[in-house]
Structure 1
Amino acid sequence: MRHLLWLATALVSTVVAEDGLAGWLRYAPLPEKIAKCHAKSIPSQVKVLGATDGLPLASAVNELKLGLRGIMGKEVDVHSEGCLGDETPTILLSTLENYVSACGELDADEPPSLEEDGFYFNTKDGNVVILGSNERATLYGTFEYLSRLAQANFEAVEYVDNPEANIRWGNHWDNMDYTSSTHGSVERGYAGVSIFFQDNKIRSDLSRVAQYARLLASIRLNAIVINNVNANPITLTDENLEGVGRIADLFRPYGVQVALSLNFASPVELGDLDTFDPLDEDVVRWWDDMIDTIYGVVPDLAGFLNKANSEGQPGPLTYNRTLAEGANMMARPTARHGGIFMFRAFVYDHHLDHRDWYNDRANAAVEFFQHHDGEFEENVVVQIKYGPIDFQVREPPSTLFAHLRDTPMAIELQVTQEYLGQQNHLFYLNPLWREILDFDLRVDGEASYVRDAVSGKRFGHKLGGYAAVINVGMDRNWLGSHLAMSNLYGYGRIAWDSQSDSVEVIEDWTRLTFGLDRRVIDTIAEMSMLSWPMYENYTGNLGVQTLTDILHTHYGPNPASQDNNGWGQWTRANEHSIGMDRTVWNGTGFAGQYPAEVAEQFEHIETTPDNLLLWFHHVPYTHVLKSGNTVIQHFYDAHYDGAEAAQTLVPMWESLKGRIDEERHAHMLRRLVYQTGHAIVWRDAVNYFYHNLSGIEDEAGRVGSHPWRIEVEDMALDGYEKVAVTPPSTASRFYAVEAAPGSSEATATTTLGFPAGRYRLAVNYYDLPDGQASYEVHINGEVVAAWEGDYDLYLGNSKSEFLDGHTAARRWLGEVDIAEGDELKIVGRPDGIERAPLDYVVFLPEGVVD
């Protein structure tokens, strides 16, 4: 209990700092009037039956004391025995089994029917009764109670809350690595280094793990895979397994079980074998012994996760063995210990010949797995990405969900915004997830929602559920962005109840994270619900995918990277037409992998919704959509609409100043200001690309026409030199300037030709890592603005060392008064690899969006 009490004290102190460490578990005091009004309705006596130090019931007691002290300013007396019945209002915490054993049958309208992890919750009759099907379920009910109080919800209720699925896992892509620049990196991580690993070992200081365990338990996740699916075999050394045991000890009090990713080649990489053939007796024996050893260290290990034969990872196909044979070899010894073996369906050839019209990476999951349905051991669960490609801004659901009738499944989601702005762009994910889960696959002509397939309900599986890639790091606010935490919270909500309303989820999260101010709740909900359509519009729409650079960072715009590569993530764009033909009659046949009714819908352009048109069909740019627009004009319009919508985020957030603590408000304002500029980078890069490729003009005359811009390469340069940018469309008119090598200062000068007036000033430039160049803007010799290229210091996106769509950025520099004939001069001072690169200057009249 000592550790738990210390943790409680530590978390009380973080509430004052409001740096995001407490997440939605701030337990901030309710307004005094509300607290006083309801103080008498909160019992002062707690009875807990069967609590043991280090297990979830003890954590529930500790959490209750911490929460009531913070929210209501109330202390409670805790007793370890006794039932309801005396006249003292009581909060009773117990498992249902312990309660019945000690107190007899529950006095309720109906006996609670609890499934695994489900709980009974009753706040009627002056008492609070929380009974779980197991200890962690009681902890879930305790968090539920505190969540209601923190949101000033004192309604008297009685209900049973059971989970929809029994697998509610998180996947970490944390690496056990050490290089000169990484000391426990996180693949697709944008919030600092790993909370688990450092320098090829488990961290000695694991205090963040205990804090993280609370967050996961509060959203009812029951297991966490702590290492990357691209697993490093050294995770299984004796020293590191001891560290895994220490991590499990910190998760255990919160009912979160630890799981490990396994590298299929470990018998060779870590052992002394010369093969990892899953049918080799020595390999089988090696894994049997290793898995027994792991369970000897962590007896309650949830199980294992494996990525095999994909993106260069080893697997059974290396020896011409089937995927089922490979999974079963490791699943059998796992089953002896009651564990689950999660086997990823992300298996595909990443050296596809793009010249073959019929090649399609989207086909891979069904092609690799459908013939093995029913061949897997009972504890094998196939983990399937929500879409056929890779966490795109819009994809149809994976067809594999309709094919595994005899094999349990879990849907793989991604809390980390790998292709979706990497936490620098606001993107609330729950609406996207709901759209996938609500999709009706129509298996055998019957209702077959994705949510029912993955939960096990549709095909009668005992196992099934959810896994999400979660990229928390050592940043104080866990995910790099305060608002991104809504996605972690929202994942827990949707994994428990797939039909959770997206607006209700974001409003609940906002109340818990920022307080009860109605304007704050409404504003953040509005921003969040805007974020998906907005981002889709200014990145990639009509089902064309997110037009990011898929070959490198997955962050900035690069439409050209989508084609002519071996990765199979193609748009097949040429000067006349665009889109993947996935029809059966003329294309890759992917549409035919769906059950008949859905296949028939997507086979035909007329019945394919516009927002998935280019996913399923290859059409001319002049093809007329159901909206009446052509494809190319829709691209132009949508990208302008999306970028313009992004400009509304900053004034909405600024309206909350004084209603949100200064630290978190300033942190998010900086990111949102950056997003408004990067949205314009995206808009221009995509529109320039397709404008140049198709040769078709924008009917509104916007693309390539920027009357308020001054291209820096057209200015008089001293110390600067003109340079090409790659891809060219990520620079206005395809060129930028950089200070010449060795220069300590460079200038660009011109005479302004705009009418006299007040303008909003902005500069587009490139912000590289490992350097913070400084800049000044002079008008008639007077410095009117200055900044440093320091985005790399506080934005967590994957880095690039080049002038491209990842480093392209905009600085909004306030308003200035100018007159025609004024002299404009920009002074750049290089630093490190950042040679003060500039693209253009823009002077915007009031009401004009560049």
Structure 2
Amino acid sequence: MLSLSFFLTFGLVAAETGINAWLRYAPLPSAMSHPTLPASIVALNTSANSPVDTAGLELQKGISSIFGKNLTIASHSSTSASIVVGTVSEYASAYGQSPKTPQLENDGFWLNTTGPSVQILGQNERGALYGAFEYLSMLAQGNFSKVAYASNPAAPVRWVNQWDNLDGSIERGYGGNSIFFTNGLVVNTTDRVSQYARLLASIGINGVVVNNVNANSSLLSPTNVAGLGRLADAFRPYGVQVGISLDFASPTEGLVYGNLSSYDPLDAGVISWWQNVTDTIYRTVPDFAGYLVKADSEGQPGPLTDNRTLADGANLFANALKPHGGILMFRAFVYNDMINETDWKADRANAAVQFFSGLDGKFADNVIIQIKYGPIDFQIREPTSPLFAYLQNTSTAIELEVTQEYLGQQCHLVYLPPLWKTVLDFDLRKNHQPSLVRDIITGKRFNRPLGGSAAVVNVGLNDTWLGSHLSMSNLYAYGRLAWNWAEDPEAILEDWTRLTFSPDPTVIQTITNLSMSSWPAYENYSGNLGIQTLTDILYTHFGPNPASQDGNGWGQWTRADGKTIGMDRTVSNGTGFSGQYPQEIMEMYENITTTPDNLVLWFHHVNYTHQLHSGETVIQHFYNAHYAGAETAQTFPTQWEGLQGKIDAERYNETLFRLTYQAGHSIVWRDAITRFYHNLSGIADSQSRVTHHPWRIEAESMKLEGYMPYTVSPFETASNNTAIVTSSNSTMGTASAVLTFPNGTYDVGVNFYDLLGGQSKFNLNINNDFVGQWTADNVETGRLGHAPSVYLDGHSATRVTFRNVTIKKGDRLEITGTPDGIEPAPLDYVVFLPKGVVD
């Protein structure tokens, strides 16, 4: 229990960049009663680069930083009270007796603080390191409890997948360039890699695939294989094994080890080619983790090209890895990206089970099928993939994302573990028996030897790692959950907040409130009732564009028309997807009366006037939810402002900027989605909010000099369909209007567009008095890392707000815009918000 005097000591704090994340080891206040610590550290293996040696050094560093106490490190047993860290067998050898510990599984550890010495003993050296991080986490949070417990991981595979490209770019990366690659090669300097290894080890991650699943075969060149050795050397002291993604067609690309005419997985030459590659890698990286393969999906080559099965393709690599103890992670993300929307029975969601049909039990025992949590692709809400229940004789892993590809791209706060838990805790009821997804992926349900998880984690060179300080909670929580899937996301979040920011109760409560409301808010203003995230699936996957879902071969359809909406995935009348589930689950989803409201449009095609269990119609729920979600987002910056002075200025200001951006962009989302379906359905909002904005001044209605109207596409991403742009890219524009609002104090918001390829400048004046200025430079300066747009659309639309502006009726508003590059200083509208009003 932390004393009140502890919390009264918080004051000004030094600036931090975020580079240390949750491993800051911030000093505890002197007013707090510190525990009596052992006098030294005994690391039972001080061989350079061993995880036990790393554990000893980490304990020394952490205790010095937290308590200001420097402990010596010894490599042998001591008669004095010590923090002893090592493996169970190392302890028995050093002390001449086996410790009294419960049975530990691979990577598990025993932590005992009840005696004069602290025991941190791992089943293996990696486990000892995990135990050291656990102990330091307790101390850093002011938890000095006397404990004695064993902790074992839920599953043997706890990996992250990087989507880094050899040129240094990162697919769906929002935190800077790659820490692994540059200019086609593995980096020479690995300091940043070691820092990342430390973060991963601290949350129990034991494997990292360093390159994009859309792989480049030049990674297999001798120069880059040597580079993989450097990466492995940086990860090894932290117990993290390196793996790579493969291009299935590499044997035909002539870059390394000879050029073949085929990549047929049953061809003897191809088999020999891959065995040669694998043996070569293991000579450089003896503890190489294995391969990740994406095949026969989104235009990628694979075994189906040669009329072979997916099992044939997976086993090709698994057999090459098996002599070395490596694992083959084979992605279940297999589908045809040119399916026919005119076919009522066509359904991308059916693909995984269809492609893996008949293959259960035919994969080698070192193959793990890596399955995305839902049947489509990292959407805001999806039903659990039925493939988890289908593969009973094959090891599986769940694929999650930390990188927020469809979910705000780190520019929107979305704490993801509550979303993940909807899948992990889902009971598939296979054979009418309890079949929680978390028990399937750990091997418990179907008695599989392997299994676990992988998360797409696109860290970059930005000091915040992911581009956003708050988004790092998703990485921390992923590791904690991968170790124990039954953990509570809110409790994990509170631990992360103490470690990352402060143990101040106000800080913990505020960040908890923000984060726990963030996923429901984002779901509300981006896409609800199971309709998927209504983003632009053809372009950046960031802003709103509901029309992009339909009329293409990607299969993320809504099937919306003027009267109806939703996919019919029933067996009786639709695509048959519900029939892929075990019987009890199939029956629940087949019947609209037992389908949860939050998935009704995933499974059923209904009228907009269909009444939900809540009593609302579908269309009115859309209106209400989008307004509610955006209203919640408006509270994010004001909640955060309550932490000023409790968090260092650098992280406070950077986070406030992103939360303010999210509040503005949530309005863009809200308006785009509600206007689109209002236009499509012709059904009015019962509360008369949609298209009704009494506090706005449309830019095109203002007096324009050097500006001209511009019809925006898609139409719903501009208020009243229209914005204004300068008449040339070298001419300043002015937009002015006489204010008709009542006298008072307002928050003034200006919606504009921030395009890639220019940094326009704006000034806002009232009666020639300066109110504020801004530059549309979020993309070019890296303040926001989302995928940029060169168009006026939902991705580039944003808002700037000036607080507490006093006006009188009849005042003259004037905005001047100076274009830059291809960006013509575009403006959408100005809004004057009285206190308490959400536009």
TM interval, shorter chain, is: over 0.9
| Alignment pair present for 1:244 and 2:228 | yes
Contact persistence 1:426–1:531 (CA under 8 A): yes
Alignment of 1:118-137 (within 5 A): 118-137=108-127
Corresponding residue number in structure 2 for 1:168: 158
| Alignment pair present for 1:102 and 2:81 | no
Corresponding residue number in structure 2 for 1:221: 205
Alignment of 1:708-727 (within 5 A): 708-727=695-714
Matching residue within 565, 570, 594 for 1:607: 594
Contact persistence 2:35–2:144 (CA under 8 A): no
Shift, 1:39, TM fit: 4.0
Corresponding residue number in structure 1 for 2:248: 264
Once structures 1 and 2 are overlaid, which stretch shifts more, 460-469 or 428-437? Answer: 428-437
Contact persistence 2:767–2:811 (CA under 8 A): yes
Q: What letter matches 2:84 in structure 1? A: L
Distance 1:525 1:239 in 2: 46
Corresponding residue number in structure 1 for 2:7: none
Shift, 1:24, TM fit: 0.3
SS of structure 1 residue aligned to 2:418: helix
Corresponding residue number in structure 1 for 2:634: 647
* 1:653-683 Cα distance to aligned partner (Å, 9 max, x none): 0000000000000000000010000000000
Contact persistence 1:370–1:404 (CA under 8 A): no
Corresponding residue number in structure 2 for 1:753: 740
| Alignment pair present for 1:499 and 2:496 | no
SS of structure 1 residue aligned to 2:31: helix
Q: TM-score scaled by structure 2?
A: 0.97
Distance 2:451 2:411 in 1: 33
Q: What letter matches 2:563 in structure 1? A: H
SS of structure 2 residue aligned to 1:607: coil
Alignment of 1:306-705 (within 5 A): 306-705=293-692
Contact persistence 2:571–2:577 (CA under 8 A): yes
Corresponding residue number in structure 2 for 1:76: 71
Unaligned runs of 5+ in 2: 1-12
Corresponding residue number in structure 2 for 1:38: 34
Distance 2:729 2:543 in 1: 29
Alignment of 1:267-286 (within 5 A): 267-269=251-253, 270=255, 271-286=258-273
Shift, 1:333, TM fit: 1.1
Contact persistence 2:161–2:456 (CA under 8 A): yes
SS of structure 2 residue aligned to 1:648: helix
SS of structure 2 residue aligned to 1:826: strand
SS of structure 2 residue aligned to 1:409: strand
Contact persistence 1:190–1:796 (CA under 8 A): yes
Unaligned runs of 5+ in 1: 1-14, 178-183
Corresponding residue number in structure 1 for 2:49: 54
Distance 1:780 1:78 in 2: 70
Shift, 1:783, TM fit: 2.3
SS of structure 1 residue aligned to 2:357: helix
Contact persistence 2:729–2:821 (CA under 8 A): no
Contact persistence 2:104–2:150 (CA under 8 A): yes
Shift, 1:17, TM fit: 4.6
Contact persistence 2:91–2:99 (CA under 8 A): no
Q: What letter matches 1:21 in structure 2? A: I
SS of structure 1 residue aligned to 2:224: helix
Distance 1:102 1:74 in 2: 26
SS of structure 1 residue aligned to 2:34: helix
Contact persistence 2:335–2:352 (CA under 8 A): yes
SS of structure 2 residue aligned to 1:586: coil
* 1:593-649 Cα distance to aligned partner (Å, 9 max, x none): 000000000000000000010010000000001111000000000000000000111
Shift, 1:49, TM fit: 1.7
Name the % identity: 58
* 1:754-804 Cα distance to aligned partner (Å, 9 max, x none): 122222111001011221111111222222221111221210000110000
Question: Given the superposition, is the C-alpha separation of residues 75 and 355 from structure 1 closer, same or farther in structure 2, using an over 3 Å criterion?
Answer: same
Distance 1:66 1:379 in 2: 38
* 1:473-500 Cα distance to aligned partner (Å, 9 max, x none): 0001101000000000000000000011
4+ residue stretches of structure 1 with deviation over 6 A?
none
SS of structure 2 residue aligned to 1:777: strand
SS of structure 2 residue aligned to 1:101: helix
SS of structure 1 residue aligned to 2:358: helix
Q: What letter matches 2:140 in structure 1? A: A
Corresponding residue number in structure 2 for 1:819: 808
Q: What letter matches 1:578 in structure 2? A: I
Matching residue within 841, 845, 850 for 2:830: 841
Corresponding residue number in structure 2 for 1:807: 796
Alignment of 1:191-230 (within 5 A): 191-230=175-214
Shift, 1:104, TM fit: 3.9
Contact persistence 2:176–2:785 (CA under 8 A): yes
* 1:157-181 Cα distance to aligned partner (Å, 9 max, x none): 000000010000000000012xxxx
* 1:208-233 Cα distance to aligned partner (Å, 9 max, x none): 00000000000000000000000000
Matching residue within 58, 83, 87 for 1:91: 83
Shift, 1:107, TM fit: 5.2
Distance 1:223 1:16 in 2: 34
SS of structure 2 residue aligned to 1:591: helix
Contact persistence 2:729–2:820 (CA under 8 A): no
Distance 2:536 2:721 in 1: 17
Distance 1:78 1:824 in 2: 68
* 1:130-181 Cα distance to aligned partner (Å, 9 max, x none): 110100100000000000000000000000000010000000000012xxxx
Corresponding residue number in structure 2 for 1:143: 133
Corresponding residue number in structure 2 for 1:180: none
SS of structure 1 residue aligned to 2:77: coil
Shift, 1:435, TM fit: 1.4
Corresponding residue number in structure 1 for 2:8: none
Q: What letter matches 2:719 in structure 1? A: S
SS of structure 1 residue aligned to 2:107: coil
Shift, 1:45, TM fit: 1.6
Contact persistence 1:761–1:844 (CA under 8 A): yes
Contact persistence 1:719–1:743 (CA under 8 A): no
Distance 1:361 1:301 in 2: 35
SS of structure 2 residue aligned to 1:525: helix
Matching residue within 148, 152, 174 for 1:158: 148
| Alignment pair present for 1:234 and 2:218 | yes
Q: TM-score scaled by structure 1?
A: 0.96
Shift, 1:704, TM fit: 0.3
Q: How many residues align?
A: 822
Shift, 1:825, TM fit: 1.5
Contact persistence 1:39–1:72 (CA under 8 A): no
* 1:221-249 Cα distance to aligned partner (Å, 9 max, x none): 00000000000000000001111100000
Contact persistence 1:308–1:347 (CA under 8 A): yes
Contact persistence 1:621–1:631 (CA under 8 A): yes
SS of structure 2 residue aligned to 1:747: strand
Contact persistence 1:91–1:129 (CA under 8 A): yes
Distance 1:787 1:238 in 2: 50
Distance 1:509 1:846 in 2: 34
Q: What letter matches 1:258 in structure 2? A: V
Shift, 1:16, TM fit: 5.8
Distance 1:31 1:210 in 2: 30
Q: What letter matches 1:227 in structure 2? A: N
SS of structure 2 residue aligned to 1:812: strand
